[in-house]
Amino acid sequence: MSNAPLPKKIDPRKLADRGVRIEGDAELALLPNLVTMLTDSQGKVSVDLQFDIDELRIRTIKGTADAKVYMTCQRCLEPVEIDIEAKFNLAIAPTEEHAKNLPKYYDALIVAGDDLELFSMVEEELILSLPIVPYHNDCSVQTSFGDVATTDNETDKPNPFSVLASLKADK
């Protein structure tokens, strides 16, 4: 795997015409919209994209972006490590109108001008690949190492037995 930093902006048509492959890493912190959904901005995303022209003369972008991220477990509320992978199977179109005529096996990517914000495209796909409800396979493994005091939250609630006792006392 290459560790070359990714270009922020690319000209996807030019890259497709040349059949360029882009491989590299980006700091998660450079993907602010993704980071807002995570507990931690530390880490990297690895991107591997092949730009090409298919047999119908359509310019395409295919490949993957993967990252290790931390989200809040929806069962125990502790951070949970999740491997995410976005898959790209894109066809470049200049307008929505052109996009409608593309074969259905591609996802359309509208690029009106020459430039494409590579990070925004990668970020968008990674956000779509996040689990809707993240959770540990086994929360108890995580909590046994930390001092997660779950019983302290119960002290404000009335003890059901004392309620019963007072009901009986009223008779």
| 23 CB-contact burial (10 Å; exposed 0-12 / middle 13-18 / buried 19+) | middle
Q: CA 66, 72, 74, 80 torsion: positive or negative?
A: positive
- Return the structure tokens found at 21: 């492959």
How near is the Cβ of 138 to Zn ion at its closest, in Å? 8
- Return the structure tokens found at 75: 């069962």
Binding residues for Zn ion, rule: CB under 5 A, are 73, 75-76, 136, 139
Task: Identify which of residues 99 and 139 has a Cβ nearer to Zn ion in the complex.
Answer: 139
How near is the Cβ of 137 to Zn ion at its closest, in Å? 9
d(CA 3, CA 6): 9
How near is the Cβ of 78 to Zn ion at its closest, in Å? 5
Task: Identify which of residues 76 and 99 has a Cβ nearer to Zn ion in the complex.
Answer: 76
Q: Which residues contact 161 (CB under 8 A, 6 or more apart)?
A: none
How near is the Cβ of 82 to Zn ion at its closest, in Å? 12
Task: Identify which of residues 94 and 131 has a Cβ nearer to Zn ion in the complex.
Answer: 131
Task: Identify which of residues 112 and 133 has a Cβ nearer to Zn ion in the complex.
Answer: 133
Main-chain phi, psi angles of 34, to 5 degrees: -70, -45
